Structures are given as structure tokens and as C-alpha cells.
A and B are shown apart, each in its own frame.
Chain A
């Protein structure tokens, strides 16, 4: 459930609270949402209002000239205006949204949510826009294919877990004179990493790990054994002798005994404020990953052993993101 901050006591704020409460009863947060009449709203757009004005002018023209053909045209446009909301509504009704993934992002950047949009029945849907209101969002059609995937971006500013506001699913199909929309809460929560801020070169050797957690790392000089060859393995490491002996292709594995591990330590950055420290650690972690230097993280109260690779990076960045906010 969304937790609207109830400290806002201005009338507008209270009104927003009431709306939000009403909406969350009508369209509760869920990772998978089907749009139906209970969740869809429809109103004419500004172009629709202008269209009405044109109709009024045409009616005046017709009445003053007692011209039945102009009358016919006027009524045709009136009927068109009456038919349109049905199409606009039908275009969104029965559309299903499912959150596939809420990708983590760095603060100050855009966080992306991958959303799968599907439809019920065979009716094609067009020009469905999914966005967080001031943003552009994504637009898609469901014509031949019955489901599609879109990525919607939301700017995130604060580090930590961020609940996304309600997504807006909107369509102005077919003529743009009506706007049908639905505020959808897909229960999206982004993990926002601190914004990376450079703090000089990597602190290599600044803090050496203790002997007990020493680990063998791949990619060293000491021969460690054979493993079945996989495409992509270096040809230099092929076990040609075994291959010539009639066995399958194997790669030789090497390990390194030297400790090239790097500790990104909270205490290295003493004297800066919390957020800056986190930002600096974040920058280092990214840099170490880029340079393929195994790195670990030490924060007050937690520690992540040195390693490399994407999962490790995620873990490190996650720890940085969820570091408690000072003063909270």
C-alpha cells in the first residue's frame, strides 16, 4: 500500500490524500493489473474541446443559412464525438500490465521499470502511453503481437529504496480528442544506488585483507587443473597434450595466490559526510569492477568479501544504497 505522507495539511494536500486513498481502494497496488471500467477514467482533451467549439460554430452556420447539408455535417461531427469515447475506452479496457523488473539505478539518474503489456481478446490496441506524469514514458501498439515489453523511466534523486508513484497508462486513440487513462500502481520499488562521485584513484593496498579470508582467485599463474573446454576460453590455455591423446578438449585452469584484493573501506573516507562517503565508495566499486580488480566493501556493521562480477557489484551497490540515512 502506498503510504501518503499525511503531514501535508494544506487543502490541496488533504485532497490528494483523499484521492490517493480512494484510488488505492479502487486500484490497489499489484504487480499485475488488468484495466477495466473500474479503473479507467475518460475525458475530452483540449483538442476535443476545440472540436466541440467547431461543432458549435458549424451549428451557427447551419442555422443562420438554414443549410441542411451543414446541419448534416454538424450532426455527423456530433455523432463522431459521441462514438469516439467508446473507441478510446475500448482501446485501454482489457489491457494488462505486469511488472517484470524494476532495475536499480544511481541517484540523479533514471530508474527503469520493465513492464509487460498484454491484452485480452484479439482486439488490437494502439498508441498506449505508459509514463510517470511529467515524464515522456513509452508508447506502444499491440496489433499483431498480443503482448509487448516496454521500459519506463523515472528520475530518482534519493538513495535507498524508492517507491515509484502511480504510473499513468493513457491513450488518445483514435483521434486524440479523448483521453482515457488509468493511474496504475504496479507496486514498483526501485533500489537507488548512491550517485557515484570520484574520490581519487582506487585505494589499492590501503587496507589489506586478513589472512583468514584469503581465497584463491582465478586467472593467476599456478596450474590448478583441467576443465572441459567451453567456447570463449583462451586458446593459449587449451590442454593440447590431452587433446592429442584422444580425449576431448580441455582448458587448463590457473589460479593466483597473490592477494590483489581491494577493500573499499568506510573508514578510508573519514571526515566527509555520509552521503559523500557512500558516493565515493560507489564510484570506487564501479571503477574496480571496470578494471577487473577484486574488491570488497567494509561499512560500519557490515562487510562484503572481495570478489568480482556483476552479482557481486550488485551486492556491493545494494549495501551502499540501503545504508541507513543519517539522522533517521
Chain B
């Protein structure tokens, strides 16, 4: 390869750096700053080399750079088997390659690596803007590849145009492959993107947590229903159950999380499911939370791989939700389930647990209620009535002291769902009723023609469940007693004044913008549904819809027919545009004749007229004379007299001659 050793011209270098920059740009936010600086420095050095002000680094400097980079990576990342260090490693090798970017081969290597770096972006993010950016990267890298061909190809418009044209031609086949190529599923365990704080509801609830969540309008769940849709007051998406209270903080308590030995049933449900069909079927697409809990209505079951069920009627994922995750859920409302087993002693004591001391007024009040009303539900009703009479629903409650429940119930009497739920459960437990706090989302917003329900972070909610003997766990939402509109219409109407006051622009008040936002979310949803979560199931479904039946034969046809058609198009294009301009048939036949004569040893010279050629043939090979003369006469008549008959005759003569040719 003599070509590969030549020095790279300036255009090539600039193109390579542009492609590298494009591929690395989104990673800059994730990578440690020193890698970014190192890249910039390497590029600067290489350009200085081009200008002749510096030499390419020697072996020692290169070794030093490698050592520095490895050391830097070791310092920056504790864990090696994770996604970020891998990407960082890639970026570093990319950077180091710049220091020995000499030949055309290095250029190719660097650009091929750039494709890979551009692809790692998608492992982190799969949104539409990212996909678009990725496409731009690919166009740029391809243009850079084209630009390596030479200076005339390196003009920006030319290279980009070429790259766009090539990629545009590649798209149809790509779509076909995307639809048809089987997805095998992970071949081995790979490091996941563990970076980034968990978002959304956490595994404990302290005062102020939910108020914080209410400030975010990021989407949390998108739920599409297959069949009936629950009414607004039923839309409680349970995520966590808090049973443990330490006087200030509600948490799951020990032994609930599967890592601490919590029971989770993967696969077929352990608790028997009723023979009656589920009330609701739906598909939830959850934004990444970096936590394992999923959200569903009680009592759920999911057939999606990697999703399990807990005894407290929640869904859990095997691995944290690092990327958007979609799961199918079937829900049977609790009242439709048959006989309820008694609460085990462990469960009872767990759900009656209260801190050793504190909040004496509440305890006294609860015991008083208990004494007056033997019926559990009556106690609950009384407490709710108490809320209903005096309490105010606000996003900005006053701060509470040590006996937070006492202070909330009897002094401030202003609060948010967490206050209501927490104080309610405290009071019920004090009254001897097993109760627990449930956290999740409530409500949601319908997007465009009720296609799906969009649940945002500010829909985060906390409510309570109490145990009623013989009927099991029942949901009670104390917030509804204070502010029914919170449940019916969502937070926005319930706390209109306070809602998202902190945000820079009260965008949510402009309905046009709001609609646009919903529309954008709709597009995102479609994108996620059709592209990002296109797995083998959906693949089968789609193929079934297209082909009617998924059989190897049909799939083969599905691939072969478009490919064959495309190939045919290409071939005919080649034929028309280059290989042979539309030659009149007579000329084509005559050319064939000339080729045959050339094989026989007499070649027609370009400027030699047919008659002159015939004369020469007769002189050199008299035995061919008569035939050649007849062919020439026929050709002249066909080509220059435009005589159709002569053309046929010419064809016939050539055929005969081939036959005769056989035994000469």
C-alpha cells in the first residue's frame, strides 16, 4: 500500500478533527474535564505539527501520555467494570491516536473509531434530539471518510453532499434490516450506566420531599391502556410502601428490599390470581430512575421479563431502571379478589410499629378515638373529618419541630400529601389499626385523543392503606379529605397559586405552550414505542401484521423482494447511465461482429468505415469475404437507411455465422 504512507493533507486533518469533535461533544458532559483538555491539546499539537512548528511526539512522550492517561482514568473512576470508564477509555485512545495521526491508514482508523464513539452516546441517551445528533455525527464522519479521498472530495459541500447521498441511499435497507434482523438479547452481562443520581420518589419520605418533587414537570410515566381506563379517582400508581417510622422519616424498613432478603416472586404469581379477567391491562413506559421499583395499580401482575411482584402488591425490576423501561401490567382491583388471608403476626406488628416516644397528643387523641369507636372504619372516618374541618392543603407548610405529628395535627394544620398521609398512618397505628404509607404517583394527564396518560414528577403522591380484617388492605387518601380536587384534577388545580412558583417562567399557564409540550411528549412517546422499545416481541408483532404469518419463507421473501428490486434498479441505472449509451441495435450488432473479427485476428480501426473494413478483411482473409460483405451491407442498410428488415437480416446473419464459426 504505497498510498497509505503519504502524509495527510490539511483538509484531511481538519475533517478528522471535526468528526472527532462531533462524536465527542455529547460525551464532554460525562467525561472528566482532563480528557477534554487532553483531546484539545492533542489536536493543537497535531495542527502545530502540520504547520511545521513542532515534531510528532517521540516514543517516550507517547509512552508518558499513555501512562498519564491510564493513571488519570484510575483516579477518575473507582470502578472499572462500568460504562463510563469504558467510554472514557475509548475517548482517551481516540485522543492518543491524534498524536500519531500520520498516514491515511491512521486516518481511517481514527474515523472508524469515531463511529463507535458516536454509538456509545446512544447507550446513555435515546431521545429524539440525541438520535438526531447521532445522525448528524454519522453524516459528518462519513463526509470525513469521503474527504480522505483527495482534495477535490474534501471541499465541505462536496463531501457532505456525497455523505448525505450515500447515507440516504442506505436508509431503505437499514429500515428493512431494522425490522427483520433478529434481536438475540444480551450475550453477556455488560456494565450499565450507573452514573447519575436517582430521580423521582426515593425509598424514604421525610417532610419536604414531595414538595420538592412538585417543582418538577419532567415526565415520569407514560401509561397506555388496552381496554377500559380507570376513572381519575382510581389512578393510584403504587411504587413504594413505607412501614417504618422513626419519628421523622418514613421508610420501607428492614427486609422489604430484596437485597435485604425481601420476598419477590419472579415469573408466575405466587398468590393465586382470580379466574376472572383483570380489570385493567396497560403498558407503562417508565423514565430512568436508577431505582428498582416500578409503578402500577394494586393488585398488579406483569409478564414482562425481569419484573417481579412483592407481597405488598408492588412490582420490582431485577436491575435498576437505567434506561427507559416498558412493562406490561394486568391489574385486578383488590375488591375483586376472593378470600383474604389473615395478616401474619410479623406483618401486623410491622404495620403497628411506632417510635418509642414522642407525639403524645396524637397518641392520646387516637386512643380516645379508639375507645369511643370499636369499628376501624369509623375511626378512619373521624380522622378524615378532622382533616376536612380545619386543614389547609399547601405546598409551603411551616417547618415542624421534634414532635412533628403533634405540631402538624394540632398547631400548624397546613400541609402537603406527605403530612396528611404520615399523620394519618401515625394516628391509625396509635389507635391500634395496622396502617402503612404508600408512595407513588396519582392522576396523570391525557395526551392527544386519550392515547396515553402522561404522569409527571409533580404527580408524585403519598397516601395510606389500612388493614380491615376480613377485607384486607384498603386505600385511604387523607389528602382527598382536605383537597378533593387534588385527586380529581391534579396538583395544578389544587394548588394553583403555589404550583411551580419557583420556576423561571410560569410556562404551564400558557395553554398554547402547554399543548405544544404535550404534543412533543406525544412524539417522544411514539418514538419510544416504535423505535427505542422495539424488541423481539414487537418485531414479531410487526412482522405478523406485515406478512400475515411469520414463516422463514415469508421473511426470506420480505427481504429478497425489495433487495432484488433495488438491485434491478441499480443495474438498470448502471446500464443506462454508463455502461452503454442507448446504442441503436444495428450498431450493437455490428460491434459484436467487430469483436468477433478481432478474435479472428482482424481488428477494425476506430476511424475505419464498415466498407473499408470489409475490403481489408477480404484482402487478409478471403474465406471470410462473402460473409463479411453481406453483414456489412446489411449493417449499412440497417444503420444508415434505417431499414427494419435489414436489421433483422443482420441479426440472422450474425447468428448463422456463429453456427458456422463453430467448426472453423
> A residues within 8 Å of B by Cβ?
28, 30, 32, 36-37, 46-47, 50-51, 53-54, 57-58, 60-80, 82-84, 86-87, 89-90, 93-94, 119-123, 126-127, 134, 136, 139, 141, 143, 172-177
Contact = CB atoms under 8 A, between A and B. Distances in A.
Nearest to B533: A68
B115 interface: yes
Given A64-B186, A66-B183, A67-B126, A46 B174 contact: no
Interface in B578-593: 578-581
Contacts of A77: 115, 138
Contacts, number: 171
Interface string B296-321: 00000000000000000000000000
Interface stretch (B140-148, B401-409, B472-480): B140-148
A126 B158 CA distance: 12
Interface stretch (B45-53, B163-171, B483-491, B542-550): B163-171
20 contacts: A36-B580, A50-B108, A53-B112, A63-B185, A64-B190, A67-B123, A70-B123, A71-B178, A72-B531, A73-B115, A73-B119, A75-B178, A75-B181, A83-B170, A90-B577, A120-B580, A126-B152, A127-B153, A173-B153, A175-B166
A94 B574 CA distance: 9
Contacts of A82: 170, 173
A50 B166 contact: no
Contacts of A64: 186-188, 190
Interface in B602-641: 603, 606
B423 to A, nearest CB: 44
Contacts of B570: 86
B6 to A, nearest CB: 9
B141 to A, nearest CB: 10
Interface in B67-114: 104-105, 108-109, 112-113
B184 A63 contact: yes
Nearest to A25: B599
B535 interface: yes
B167 A80 contact: yes
B1 A46 contact: yes
Contact of A66 (B174, B188, B535): B535
B145 A175 contact: yes
Nearest to A93: B578
A174 B134 contact: no
Contact of A68 (B130, B532, B581): B532
Contact of A61 (B123, B138, B534, B573): B123
Contacts of B169: 83
Interface in B179-209: 181, 183-188, 190
B582 to A, nearest CB: 10
Contacts of B533: 68
A126 B170 CA distance: 21
A175 B142 contact: yes
B177 interface: yes
Contact of B190 (A51, A65, A78): A65
B531 A68 contact: yes
A69 B443 CA distance: 32
Contacts of B323: 67
Contacts of B1: 46
B108 A80 contact: no
B524 interface: no
B41 interface: no
A97 B441 CA distance: 75
9 nearest CB pairs, A to B: A94-B578, A79-B170, A79-B173, A69-B122, A75-B177, A47-B108, A80-B170, A64-B190, A79-B174
A57 B123 CA distance: 14
B581 A121 contact: yes
B162 interface: yes
Contacts of A173: 149, 153
A136 B574 CA distance: 29
A78 B578 contact: no
B187 A79 contact: no
B134 A73 contact: yes
Given A67-B126, A69-B134, A94-B578, A175 B149 contact: yes
A60 B119 CA distance: 12
Contacts of B581: 120-121
B118 interface: yes
Given A71-B178, A139-B150, A176-B108, 9 more contacts: A50-B108, A66-B183, A73-B122, A73-B134, A80-B167, A121-B578, A126-B150, A134-B2, A173-B149
B166 A90 contact: no
Contact of B187 (A63, A71, A126, A172): A63
